[in-house]
C-alpha cells in the first residue's frame, strides 16, 4: 500500500495562547526545510496538527524520519489519507494491519470537527471487530502489539499503524539566537541540543589550539556539528584559534591559573562574537563539580570576565550518566568518546586552581593585553555553514 500522508503533532505549542500561530508557522517552515528533497507535495497546518501529502515518487519513510527530529514535534504518523467514509477507513485499516504480524491490537480513533456522523468509540468498535474477524487479532487496550490510529478532521483524515516520537520542545527560531561553545567532548553538544530544543537558534563556537595542536579537535567538532544539524537544520560553526592566546597566558600568568584564564579568554571572545552576531546568550556544557574547572568558584570567576551577555548552562544540575544517556539518544556519544587534542589541556598544569576568584584571576591577567588577544583570535575566525539535508559547505575566509 502506498503511504501518501504524514501527520505531525505539536508538543507544547498546543498550550500557547494568542501567539500560537507564530509558533505553528515557524514549525511549518522548519518542517519544509527538513523535508527538502523528499518529494512532498503539500504542507498544511490546521486542527492542531500539520499534514504533509506525498506524490507517487516521493520518499515518505525518509520524510517521516526527518520530521521526527524537528524540534517542536511530539510525534509523527505515516499512513494513508482517507475521506470521512467508514468503509474506506475500514479497508485502509485492514490493509495496514496486514502489513506486519501481531497478536494483540488496539484501534484509536479521534475526530476533530469531522463531517463523519459517527462517534470515535463507534469507529473503534466497528474497525476493531473487522480486524478480529478477518485477521484473528485480539483486542488489548493496555499494551497492544500494534495500534491502528484513525484521525479525522474536517472533510479528510489519515489512518496509520506506526508512529515515531519527536524530540518535543519548541521549534528552532522562536527563542532568539545564542552561541553554544562546542568542544569535542560529551557535554557541550548535549547542552547545545537542549537549548535548541527550547527554540534557540544556535551558532556553534569551537576553540582550537592551533598552531600548537593537530586538527583532530576541529574534525571532531565538525562531525558533532553535523549530527547537531540533523535536528537544527542549518548551523553556523565558528572555528576560533586560541593557541596564541594560550601561549601568552603560559608566558605571563601563574601556572595554576592557566585553565581558568583560558576559559575567561574564551568567554571574552564569545561575548564579543555574540555582540557581532546579535546573539542573546552564551551556552556552555558545564555540569557543577564534574571537573576542576567546574566548581562554583571557578564558574563564577569565568563568568566575571564579561558582563555583556548572559551565560546559560543547561546541564548544570545533571549527573554524568544523565548526560551520557542523552548523548547516546541524540547520536553524539560515539563521536565524543574518540580521542582528540582539546585546547583546554594544552600546557595544563599539574595542579590547576579549583577555587579561584575574580580578583586572583584579574591579577593573573595583569601582564596580558586581553583586548588585543581577543581581537587577534577573532581575526582568525573561520565560519562553516552546515545544512541538513546536506548541502555543500560554504567556508568563509578568515576574519569574514
Beta-strand runs (E) in 182-340: 201-208, 234-241, 281-283, 311-312
Strands 138-139 and 104-112: parallel
Per-residue pLDDT of the chain (400 residues; tens, 9 = 90+): 899 999 999 988 888 888 999 999 999 999 999 999 999 999 999 888 999 999 999 999 999 999 999 999 999 999 999 999 999 999 999 999 999 999 999 999 999 988 899 999 999 999 999 999 999 999 999 999 999 999 999 899 999 998 999 999 999 999 999 999 999 999 999 999 999 999 999 999 999 988 887 788 999 999 999 999 999 999 999 999 999 999 999 999 999 999 999 999 999 999 999 999 999 999 999 999 888 778 999 999 999 999 999 999 999 999 999 999 999 999 999 999 998 767 666 666 677 788 889 999 999 999 999 999 999 999 999 999 999 987 644 444 344 3
The DSSP-derived string for 101-152 is --SEEEEEEEEES-S--S-HHHHHHHHHHHHHHHH--EE-SSS-SEEEEEEE
Q: Which residues pair with 50 in a beta bridge?
A: 8, 45
Beta-strand runs (E) in the chain: 5-10, 40-46, 49-54, 73-82, 104-112, 138-139, 146-153, 156-165, 177-181, 201-208, 234-241, 281-283, 311-312, 382-387, 394-395
Q: Backbone dihedral region of 317: left (phi > 0), alpha (psi from -120 to 50 degrees) or beta?
A: alpha
Burial label for 92, CB within 10 Å (0-12, 13-18, 19+), is: buried
Beta-sheet strand order (sheet of 394-395) = 311-312, 281-283, 177-181, 201-208, 234-241, 382-387, 394-395
Domains and CATH numbers, the chain: 5-165 (3.30.2130.30), 177-395 (3.40.50.620)
> Helix, strand or coil for residue 46?
strand
pTM for the whole structure: 0.92
Reading the block at residue 273, the C-alpha cell is 562574537
Grid cell 547516546 in the structure block, residue: 328
> Helix, strand or coil for residue 268?
helix
Reading the block at residue 265, the C-alpha cell is 579568554
CB 28 within 8 A of CB 50: yes
Q: Cα(first)–Cα(last) distance of the chain, in Å? A: 51
Amino acid at each position: 500500500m502506498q503511504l501518501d500522508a504524514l501527520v505531525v503533532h505539536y508538543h507544547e505549542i498546543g498550550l500557547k495562547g494568542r501567539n500560537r500561530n507564530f509558533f505553528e508557522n515557524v514549525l511549518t517552515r522548519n518542517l519544509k526545510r527538513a523535508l527538502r528533497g523528499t518529494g512532498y507535495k503539500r504542507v498544511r497546518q490546521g486542527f492542531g496538527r500539520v499534514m504533509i501529502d506525498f506524490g507517487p515518487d516521493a520518499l515518505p519513510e525518509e520524510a517521516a524520519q526527518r520530521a521526527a527530529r524537528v524540534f517542536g514535534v511530539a510525534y509523527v504518523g505515516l499512513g494513508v489519507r482517507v475521506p470521512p467514509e467508514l468503509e474506506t477507513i475500514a479497508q485502509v485499516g485492514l490493509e495496514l494491519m496486514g502489513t506486519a504480524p501481531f497478536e494483540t491490537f488496539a484501534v484509536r480513533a479521534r475526530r476533530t470537527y469531522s463531517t463523519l456522523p459517527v462517534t470515535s468509540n463507534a469507529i473503534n468498535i466497528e474497525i476493531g471487530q473487522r480486524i478480529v474477524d478477518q485477521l484473528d487479532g485480539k483486542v488489548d487496550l493496555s499494551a497492544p502489539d500494534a495500534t491502528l490510529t484513525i484521525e479525522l478532521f474536517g472533510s479528510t483524515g489519515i489512518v496509520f499503524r506506526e508512529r515515531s516520537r519527536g524530540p518535543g520542545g519548541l521549534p528552532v527560531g522562536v527563542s532568539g539566537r545564542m552561541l553554544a561553545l562546542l568542544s569535542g567532548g560529551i557535554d557541550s553538544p548535549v547542552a547545545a541540543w537542549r537549548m535548541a530544543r527550547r527554540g534557540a537558534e544556535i551558532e556553534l563556537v569551537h576553540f582550537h589550539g592551533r598552531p600548537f595542536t593537530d586538527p583532530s579537535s576541529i574534525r571532531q567538532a565538525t562531525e558533532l556539528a553535523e549530527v547537531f544539524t540533523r535536528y537544527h537544520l542549518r548551523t553556523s560553526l565558528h572555528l576560533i584559534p586560541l593557541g596564541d592566546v594560550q601561549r601568552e597566558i603560559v608566558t605571563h600568568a601563574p601556572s595554576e591559573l592557566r585553565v581558568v584564564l583560558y576559559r575567561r579568554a574564551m568567554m571574552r571572545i564569545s561575548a564579543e562574537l555574540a555582540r557581532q552576531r546579535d546573539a542573546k546568550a552564551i551556552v556552555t556544557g558545564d555540569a557543577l563539580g564534574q571537573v576542576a574547572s567546574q566548581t562554583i568558584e571557578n564558574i563564577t570567576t569565568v563568568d566575571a570576565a564579561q558582563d555583556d551577555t548572559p551565560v546559560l548552562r543547561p546541564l548544570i544540575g545533571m549527573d554524568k550518566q544523565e548526560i551520557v544517556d542523552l548523548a547516546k539518544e541524540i547520536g553524539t556519544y560515539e563521536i565524543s568518546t574518540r580521542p582528540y587534542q582539546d585546547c583546554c589541556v594544552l600546557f595544563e598544569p599539574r595542579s590547576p586552581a579549583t577555587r579561584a576568584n575574580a580578583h586572583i584571576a584579574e591579577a593573573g591577567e595583569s601582564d596580558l593585553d586581553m583586548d588585543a588577544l581577543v581581537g587577534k583570535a577573532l581575526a582568525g575566525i573561520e565560519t562553516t555553514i552546515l545544512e541538513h539535508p546536506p548541502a555543500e559547505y560554504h567556508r568563509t575566509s578568515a576574519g569574514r
